Amino acid sequence: MSSTFDQSIFLQQLDTQWLGHSIRYFEELESTNTYLKKLSSEEIEHGLFCLTDHQTRGRGQYERKWETEKGQNLTFSIAFTPADRGRFHVLTLACALAIVEKLNEFVGSSCAAIKWPNDIILNDKKTGGILTEAVFSGNTFDRLIIGIGLNINQQEFSNELEEIATSVSLEKGEGINREQFLADLLNRIEYKYILWEQQQSSLIKTINRNIIGYGQWVGLKIDDEMQDELYKLLGIDENGALLMLNRDGGIDSFSYEQIQLVTN
């Protein structure tokens, strides 16, 4: 059953210093990322938060669609205006880590993980994804939009998704209070943002420990071509590039546009 997001319950539970204090809620919207992208610089403040109960043109990575059932899940975006204009992939992964930690605590320990670069896996199925977009004004960086889609209360998926997608409710076996879940998640995202801003090395280590395949020999597609050799996944560096040990003992560094991991 679809339900409308209750902003007052959400705000009562929210315990952040700045994230989500300014909220734009819409019953229906094309896409929360597109909405925050289209605002002028003057309308943007750090931590501005946009949420909808129904996206009509939700976007995923690689120009895919992101479609979810109305009033069941969480589809939201956050605008950040960091002083540091680099390391965005690390910030995306820091948000992924906040989600994974929340799921591990809420559903059961070690049930969630990050599928690099930005999928959220729960009991071996996808439960969420992140779409990060930078907005420029001319050549000048203006804002970073981090959009998050999480399957929360959805009970059924189409035939093509059934085997590979799940929701928090399906895995926990009960209905989830979306407002409470989101408020707690934003508290965690704000905390991870602060670690990211301070360039805490512990953040990278924790992200790495939560990436599927970390420390293992995995298959790799480079520019869409499957490689014959396996590579050992060493984790991300401080810029978010993926470091892989090759069979010759050398370390190769890849950006997320270049490669896809093939893990079991």
Closest approach, Cβ 57 to ligand BTN, in A, equals 7
Residues at the contact surface with ligand BTN, assessed by CB under 6 A = 31-33, 55, 58-61, 64, 66, 75-77, 119, 129-131, 147-149
Closest approach, Cβ 229 to ligand BTN, in A, equals 28
Closest approach, Cβ 189 to ligand BTN, in A, equals 14
Nearest-CB residue for ligand BTN:
129
**78, β-bridge pairs:** 49, 146
**122, β-bridge pairs:** 112, 125
Burial of 146 (0-12, 13-18, 19+ CB in 10 A): buried
Q: Whose Cβ is closer to ligand BTN: residue 61's or residue 200's?
A: 61
Closest approach, Cβ 245 to ligand BTN, in A, equals 27
Tell how strand 48-52 and strand 23-26 pair up. parallel
**Residue 135: half-sphere exposure toward Cβ, Cα within 13 Å:** 20
Closest approach, Cβ 30 to ligand BTN, in A, equals 8
Q: Rounded CA gap, 180 and 156, in Å? A: 22
Q: Whose Cβ is closer to ligand BTN: residue 55's or residue 153's?
A: 55
Query: Which residues, 6 or more positions from 10, have their beta carbon under 8 angstroms from its beta carbon?
Result: 23, 179, 180, 182, 183
In this structure, what token pair is assigned to residue 261? 């991991």
Q: Whose Cβ is closer to ligand BTN: residue 94's or residue 231's?
A: 94
Residue that is written with structure tokens 């992200």 in the block: 207
Q: Whose Cβ is closer to ligand BTN: residue 211's or residue 231's?
A: 211
Closest approach, Cβ 95 to ligand BTN, in A, equals 11
Closest approach, Cβ 66 to ligand BTN, in A, equals 4
Q: Whose Cβ is closer to ligand BTN: residue 127's or residue 231's?
A: 127
Q: Whose Cβ is closer to ligand BTN: residue 164's or residue 226's?
A: 164
Q: Is the dihedral of CA 244, 254, 148, 19 positive or negative?
A: positive
Q: Whose Cβ is closer to ligand BTN: residue 31's or residue 187's?
A: 31
Helices (H), 121-230: 159-162, 168-172, 178-197, 201-209
Q: b/e map of 72-90 (b: 16 or more CB within 10 Å)?
A: bbbbbbbbbebeeeebbbb
